[in-house]
Amino acid sequence: MSQFLTEYQMNFWKRILRPAFAATIQMVLITTLFGALLGFLIAVVLLVTGKDGIRPNRFIYGVFSFIVNVIRSFPFLILMIFLLPFTKFVAGTSIGVKAAVVPLIVSAAAFIAKLIENAMKEVDKGLIEAMRSFGISEAQVVFRVMLSEAMPSVVSGIILAMVSILGCTAMAGAMGAGGIGSVAVTYGYQKFNTPVMVLTAVILIVFVEIIEWIGRWVYRKLK
């Protein structure tokens, strides 16, 4: 009996848990990378075209701000359903990791954009004016002054976003995206298997702790 349980546990790890583990890591890393890049671009647009920005433009700022706020107002599960046609157009499928990263990136980009915008807004305006008096370009003000000064806060924001993304991957699992969330629902909740539920919860907690530890280490290095 004990040998059977051991073989079952090994098979469960090899066939179910290990691929789910890899899928979750894949979704988190891809979403964080592309969400941060897209979010940064949106944040720069918001920062530059805002009321106190370098090139104020109420129309452009209003459009981008509205889109970001609309996306952020959607619960992720509802956003996934709402974006299904777009997801299928972009990824060619509506299930699996490839499909999950589309709404994940959209959601993460909006969240990260606001975090980066707020972090860069906190940069001392006196420093910005002093650097502009030296004749540096507007692009240098944004990328070499504001971004450089706000980098520790930006990193903290991205780490916070990664924890949120991890939670969203668990929800995506309930929609057929795979990953730890899918294991928790399919093999834990639906089969009333408490050990699997506990195991998936522990894995997610460990993920969060690792992300937080990396974030604190990077933050200390940038300070």
Q: Indicate the number of domains in the chain.
A: 1
CATH, residue 161: 1.10.3720.10
pLDDT confidence tier of residue 12, bands split at 50, 70 and 90: low
Q: Is residue 108 part of a domain?
A: yes
Q: Is residue 3 part of a domain?
A: no
Which has more confidence, 203 or 126? 203
Confirm whether pTM is higher than 0.85.
Answer: no
Q: Is residue 8 part of a domain?
A: no
Amino acid 1: pLDDT = 40
Q: Is residue 34 part of a domain?
A: yes
Amino acid 3: pLDDT = 44
The per-residue DSSP string of 89-156 comes to HHHS-SSSHHHHHHHHHHHHHHHHHHHHHHHHHTS-HHHHHHHHHTT--HHHIIIIIIHHHHHHHHHH
Residue 133's domain comprises 16-222
pLDDT digits (tens, 9 = 90+) for 87-137: 888 877 777 778 888 889 999 999 999 888 888 887 777 776 777 677 777
